[in-house]
Chains A and B, each alone.
Chain A
């Protein structure tokens, strides 16, 4: 076994993509638009979120261009407000929240549990349509002039003082929220009720555990966002008076209700990414994830504790000192399960046979950058330091480290990892490794200076800033250019690989997991026969025995 790579491809001179697969099963637009097949829906989602990612990314480019100079040179301050608001709205609700669950999760979870499809295929399709409707509403909002409240819609700015398109954006997110709820609901039912014979809870891949935990958050948290948006719309249209002090309301009430969802939302965003990392780290160290049970339970613990900490976004807003104390303490607690996961992945690497294919490079990037982002979260969870750091670029850097350095890297890791299963073809390894490294370098140049800017006192959401901050801002923008290249490359080479990539075969990574024991791309019904799970998760010895049996029987 070569030490340089674990990739094991079939003989390229004779190998072909299997004729019967979920992509070739039926043709025509309607077979896609009316599909119940979770793999096709996942594909539809992948195309859609990539589209919105690039819109959100372009807006980020505009932000960084504006911030090259201390004055408002490129656009008026109001326009800048619209740009960062739309960037946030699109990236959070139309990209990060559905990214891993609706694409990779939809594709892989039924196979991981050994089922033919998710429990509710029509609801799955509905979920995608709701996402598309929400996307159209956001595009309409941008075309009609945008909204400039910040993605957090803080009242009374959003309810009383602004005349921009708060209502259409609020309704768009309302729709997107239900898309998310239905995905989560589907996952929970599938994981509970559709596991194949022998698939006990503790034989499930950790990716399933992470998505299960995220799904609980989606189902319980998102409806609160929905009602909050309804109240904001009512506040703007009929002046119901719950949030607006002019009518006797409380602006902090809005924040309580908003953050009750939006804090669990960050765990909705990161947990599926953590699930990807568990799969990738195990496969590319050829080792069972260290402390499987701890990682599984810590996923659920993050979900549960994630509901108790929302007011740490509100320390300076006027909540009581006692509430600040309690929420700060609880915030310290919620950091623990995340740290447990990082430790466990690190110990998985220890004495493993590590190789550095692209998914693993992204996973390494995740572990380093998420750790930094997570630790800076602890600084923010302490009320004393938060008073100085909140609403500065320190916060911006913190959440970009965890969401972009963490989540987006995990997403790319997962896309590369499951690409052969999805399309039947391998992506080109050298250029993808280059893209991963370029992304990592670009990311650090973009966002690390922002920690420094934040501690020096540069406020967030400002188009103009004191000239002493310019040098670091220029540095950050330069990094953003590199980062952009790093994100553009995968689009190019992944598209290329659809036609010219090497044929992958069933299991190019020699991974465990039920999805790897069937053809690539999979059949519409996933497995020719209902699988029976007779071994533990990440059982590499079982895999070896399977391969020996195959070799023996082919002859």
Chain B
């Protein structure tokens, strides 16, 4: 319920007792004060992020064990990932976290124009990330590194057949059974980056919704809860990527 008359209502709320007194239209009736609502929903978002930490935790555990069992395959698999695009994506997400933090600042300072600008920048960075991911995945498809019936271990059994990568890393050829484990590396790669990308897509969707609402002034009248809580979610997705980058791309490049 965005309402430009909310500003005048909020002073009345802070003045007296809260029973059936006036309170801002964005305050739900089961909360006594706006602050209680903010605290409660903020805490709820943090608890939700805890569930996400444990959710990705299971994936990380599986990854760590498989990586230690099949280290040579994982090394050569990771050489197939582009360090350029990976680093670029990391920088893009870090920038998007910055612009998201600036969005929250704008909402707190009640600057509608600034808020919309920074949300749009965040959205742009989000799309950029997904676009780069698309480029990377497409490259995997072209090289027959998508796990499944079209997967080919050619680049690992005979690394010289992949001149670009071979020039950089001079990987030794893998025995067929270890080479087969590169498919597992790519499975985990797609599962982890795919799960992460799904969270990005959901974030992008909510961002678009927020931009429309922000333009109408919904978040610059004192009700910053939605933007702040979404910011927490967005930063969390960034943190997951920081770890994915370190674990998937940087296994061993020397």
Contacts and interface: CB of A to CB of B under 8 A. Distances in A.
Answer whether A and B touch in the complex at a CB cut-off of 8 Å.
yes
Interface in A514-550: 525, 529-530
A220 B54 contact: yes
B58 A228 contact: yes
A193 B40 CA distance: 6
A193 B54 contact: no
B50 A189 contact: no
A189 B45 CA distance: 10
Interface string B20-52: 000000001111100010011101100110111
Contacts of B181: 248
A504 interface: no
Contacts of A525: 30
Given A189-B40, A193-B36, A238-B187, A227 B55 contact: yes
Contacts of B44: 119-120, 123, 185-186, 189
B16 to A, nearest CB: 14
B191 A115 contact: no
A202 interface: no
Contacts of B47: 185, 188-189, 219
B76 to A, nearest CB: 15
Interface stretch (A55-63, A66-74, A249-257, A473-481): A249-257
B55 A530 contact: no
A227 B56 contact: yes
Nearest to A181: B51
Main secondary structure of the interface of A (DSSP, over half): helix
B202 interface: no
A238 B40 contact: no
A194 B40 CA distance: 8
Contacts of B59: 227, 231
B52 A223 contact: yes
B28 to A, nearest CB: 8
A464 interface: no
A123 B40 CA distance: 13
B180 interface: yes
Contacts of B39: 193
B61 A256 contact: yes
A234 interface: yes
B15 interface: no
Contacts of A194: 30-31, 36, 40
Contacts of B50: 219-220
What interface size band does chain B fall in? 35 or more
A226 interface: yes
Interface residues of A, number: 43
B61 A240 contact: no
B187 A223 contact: no
A530 B31 CA distance: 11
B1 interface: no
B51 A219 contact: yes
A343 to B, nearest CB: 32
A136 interface: no
B62 A242 contact: yes
Contacts of A530: 19, 32
User: Which of A115, A189, A530 has the most chain B CB atoms inside 10 A of its CB?
Assistant: A189
Interface stretch (B64-72, B80-88, B158-166, B231-239): B64-72
Contacts of B69: 248, 250
Contacts of A247: 184
B183 interface: yes
A185 B48 contact: yes
A38 B108 CA distance: 32
User: Which of B180, B183, B187 has the most chain A CB atoms inside 10 A of its CB?
Assistant: B187
A119 B187 contact: no
A224 B57 contact: yes
A234 B51 contact: no
Contact of B58 (A186, A224, A238): A224
Nearest 7 CB-CB pairings of A with B: A227-B58, A223-B55, A117-B30, A223-B54, A193-B40, A116-B30, A240-B187
10 contacts: A119-B40, A220-B50, A223-B54, A227-B56, A231-B62, A240-B187, A242-B62, A248-B69, A248-B181, A525-B30
Given A185-B44, A228-B58, 12 more contacts: A118-B30, A189-B44, A193-B43, A220-B54, A222-B51, A224-B55, A227-B59, A231-B59, A231-B62, A231-B191, A241-B183, A253-B65
